[in-house]
Copies of this chain bind each other. A is one copy, B any other.
Amino acid sequence: MDSESRRRFIQQTAAWSAASLFAGSLSQALARDSQKKLGWALCGLGSLSTNQIAPALQKTQFARLAGIVTDTPEKAKKWQAQYNIPAKNCYTYATMEQMARNKDIDVVYIVTPNALHLEQTQRAAKAGKHVYCEKPMETSVERAQQMIDACKAADRKLGVAYRCRFEPNNLECIRIAREKELGAVKVVEASFGFTIGDPSQWRLKRALSGGGALMDVGIYALQATRYITGEEPLTVSAVETKTDPVKFAEVDETIAWTSKFPSGAVASCSTSFNAADTGRYRARADKGWFGLEPAFMYSGIKGRRSDGKDIAFPQIDQFAAEIDDFSRCILENKSSIVSGEEGLRDIKILMAIYESARTGKTLNLAG
């Protein structure tokens, strides 16, 4: 990394903490006193919580793993021991409203199948807890809106776990786009997919997932088109195909879509549960191009520019970064860039993509 890159990296990764670390704010004081870290409870102890989020919560500056919500007693026991979680901070999905009396827990991070997010958000909010929720936010516009309403009614914050928004290489691409360093972006090509395994998993069951590849990983490509252009799409136009109607009986297998944006940029995107894909994007501007491949993984994110420069900022723990960011938003009573409203925007567009694929019509999203 040359000195210019180092300077940018420091700017970017420090940006979120700059206010608190250097401006004498509340969180600066809190940062000095680890007892004052916000208590996070993980709701849903699947592989993402186990392998990514719980380890990340060991590195966070403004958050600590304080509680768990699971219906599996063996998991509860294991996690209590591993993370030194007192029994009183362990809940089931049915008992989580009792958190209201538990001052150890400030935030519930919902890491369950998509269709459970609304009810769990409502319970957490009712218990007076802030809510951080995995993406996609929910399975319909109405349900996502109800999550926002529930948190608003309880005067609690709601955030959606878009970790790429805190990842330095993605931030660098956003900077290149905003500063028009290679000109105005005219085309964003983005994709994410993978060949899904176990046919019995919840991601393939509509009642739990609300949709397939598009909901699960296409959302990364959609987000990329929005954060690179810095705009909301005016239209979506989509096609959908299915080559394995048994495995993908309930959800979408492969979808490709295009959008246009107010600046005149277009997006060209695809997603699949039945194709190997590194997950990548390429922005094409009038003076050059730039992009990442892989763009959305937990690590190894890197990219290139048309002028021959690499985009190669050091990897960070994206989960730790997003958790610290949301904690700071709570501590400083700031709004999150990955708010419920932001999550809802994606849900609206995802639903429009499905509708366009179904009707064969370009959908206008404006207004």
Contacts and interface: CB of A to CB of B under 8 A. Distances in A.
- With most chain B CB atoms within 10 A of its CB, the pick from A253, A267, A278, A360 is A360
A269 B27 CA distance: 47
A103 B243 CA distance: 55
Contacts of A238: 237, 258
A235 to B, nearest CB: 6
Contact of A241 (B191, B264, B287, B362): B264
B191 A268 contact: yes
A135 interface: no
Nearest to A289: B276
A241 B258 CA distance: 12
A197 to B, nearest CB: 12
Contacts of A361: 360-362
Interface string A235-251: 10111111100000000
A186 interface: yes
A343 to B, nearest CB: 24
A263 interface: yes
A241 B260 contact: yes
Contacts of A288: 276
A242 B278 CA distance: 31
Contact of A239 (B189, B195, B266, B284): B266
Interface of A: 182-187, 189, 191, 193, 195, 235, 237-243, 253-261, 263-270, 272, 274-278, 282, 284-289, 306, 360-362
- How many copies of this protein are present in the complex? 2
28 contacts: A186-B243, A186-B254, A186-B274, A187-B193, A187-B256, A187-B270, A187-B272, A189-B270, A191-B282, A195-B287, A237-B237, A237-B258, A237-B360, A239-B258, A239-B259, A240-B260, A241-B260, A241-B266, A255-B266, A256-B260, A256-B268, A257-B258, A258-B258, A275-B289, A276-B284, A276-B286, A277-B284, A361-B361
A1 to B, nearest CB: 24
- With most chain B CB atoms within 10 A of its CB, the pick from A253, A256, A272, A286 is A256
A131 to B, nearest CB: 34
Given A195-B287, A276-B285, A285-B276, A241 B268 contact: no
A289 B187 CA distance: 22
Nearest to A257: B258
A345 to B, nearest CB: 19
Contacts of A278: 289, 306
Contacts of A240: 260, 266
The 4 closest A-B pairs by CB, nearest first: A243-B264, A275-B284, A360-B362, A186-B275
- With most chain B CB atoms within 10 A of its CB, the pick from A189, A235, A267, A306 is A189
A187 B275 contact: yes
A269 B268 contact: yes
A237 to B, nearest CB: 5
A282 B281 CA distance: 12
Given A237-B258, A256-B258, A362-B239, A276 B182 contact: yes
A176 to B, nearest CB: 13
A289 to B, nearest CB: 5
Contacts of A242: 264
A175 B182 CA distance: 36
